[in-house]
Amino acid sequence: MIDFKNTQIAFEAKSNADLRRAKFLFNSIKHTWVVKLGKIFVYITGKIKFPVGWLLKPTIYKQFVGGETLQKCTPLAQQLMKYGIRSIFDYSAEGGGSADDIQQTFEEFISSIKYAKGNENVAYTVFKPTALTVDELLEKASAKAELNEDEQKNYGEYKQRFETLCQLAYDNNVRILVDAEDYCFQDAIDDFTEEMMRKFNKKRAIVFTTLQMYRHDRLQYLEKLYNDAVENNYTVGMKFVRGAYMEKERERAKQLGYKDPICPTKQATDENYNRGLSYVIEHIDKFEVFSGTHNEESNQFLANLIEKHHLTRNDNRIFFAQLYGMSDNLSYNLAHEGYNVTKYIPYAPVKKVLPYLIRRAEENTAIAGQTTRELELIKAEIKRRKTEKKLQKNNKRQ
């Protein structure tokens, strides 16, 4: 069993001031009203163009974001690597959707792939397909609706951008994760990701698809992918997450009158997640695996599977992943035990990363136990350091 409660290892890289800041932050965002008030504040200051960087940068931004640019994140990646943790730089600017926004985001994704080339601090690159086009088009393509001439042209351009990123990743021998988002876009994204895996994953997994295991149809899809990989002779790049849009998905299904795509209970999602992990480890000759979760049991479950199947802890095909600013007790303790660990590190200027920050704050308020867990661990480490200091003082006196 891995000791995920070892706070000394978990917070090795954090100064006392870092811990105090994190404690203050998690104490604040555990209250729903604080997050709601923060959301209104951000909305109003955005409308009147009042700068908020001075307030957010030393607090919530510092906790969850690596920096404004890739270059500014470099010291962080180097520091994480000292503890055996590799980075994934996630350009997290959201909003916009104009042709200029799409082009600028696409270029930033390209920069992140070039940055990762031969860089041992970086484990994967990542992009969101929805950032490469407009939502309406992806939704129509997913529903297999007929596209008019203009839409066909735009859809072709979207696919071209998608393929350019995969091709560049392939040329630079860098792994690339295709994030999953709303259910209504996912069929089109899945289809094209499969096409890219068939093309670029012949020798090893370069392109990774994402399965949101809160969907009750994902285990069948996983088997379908395995069969396709056997038939077409490629390796599936498999990123597992539980899924981040549950409330929204349930609400949408209800409103539009289709079957809720999400598992009926949390337990069903948890079982799905772990069954997915078991399946890929049992068929590891056809998979590379990325497990993105803050769930302690799922992390222990994957570690147990690695032992059970006599794989090495640092098997390059298997990675554990958490988000920067969260669950350091999992990341640092797993890395300490010799497993491959990576952190998603969002980066973007403050103004552009606000929706991401609000989501993190909401998630930490909403997810049962997440904030309490973070807070308890931070408090335990602060206490441990005080006790250690006292002991050292006493020893000196004697």
Ligand X SMILES: Cc1cc2nc3c(=O)[nH]c(=O)nc-3n(C[C@H](O)[C@H](O)[C@H](O)COP(=O)(O)OP(=O)(O)OC[C@H]3O[C@@H](n4cnc5c(N)ncnc54)[C@H](O)[C@@H]3O)c2cc1C
Q: Can you give the binding site for ligand X, defined by CB under 6 A?
A: 179-180, 210, 212, 214, 241-246, 262-263, 265-266, 269, 292-295, 321-323, 344, 367
Nearer to ligand X, 200 or 273 (CB): 273
The residues that bridge with 343 in the sheet, in sequence order, are 87, 322
| Minimum CB–partner distance for residue 298 and ligand X (Å) | 6
Angle between helical axes of 70-82 and 99-116 (0-180°, round to 10): 40
| Minimum CB–partner distance for residue 12 and ligand X (Å) | 20
Nearer to ligand X, 53 or 131 (CB): 131
Q: Are 192 and 223 in contact (CB under 8 A)?
A: no
Cβ within 8 Å of residue 269, ≥6 positions away: 213, 214, 242, 243, 262, 263
Longest dimension (CA), the chain: 85
Residue with smallest beta-carbon separation from ligand X: 292
| Minimum CB–partner distance for residue 296 and ligand X (Å) | 8
Q: What one-character DSSP code corresponds to residue 67?
A: B
| Minimum CB–partner distance for residue 310 and ligand X (Å) | 26
Nearer to ligand X, 179 or 374 (CB): 179
Nearer to ligand X, 133 or 210 (CB): 210
> Which stretches does DSSP call E strand in the chain?
85-91, 122-127, 176-178, 207-212, 236-241, 287-292, 318-323, 341-347
Nearer to ligand X, 86 or 230 (CB): 86
Nearer to ligand X, 179 or 328 (CB): 179
| Minimum CB–partner distance for residue 339 and ligand X (Å) | 14
88, two tokens: 């994934």
Q: Are 223 and 195 in contact (CB under 8 A)?
A: no
| Minimum CB–partner distance for residue 243 and ligand X (Å) | 4
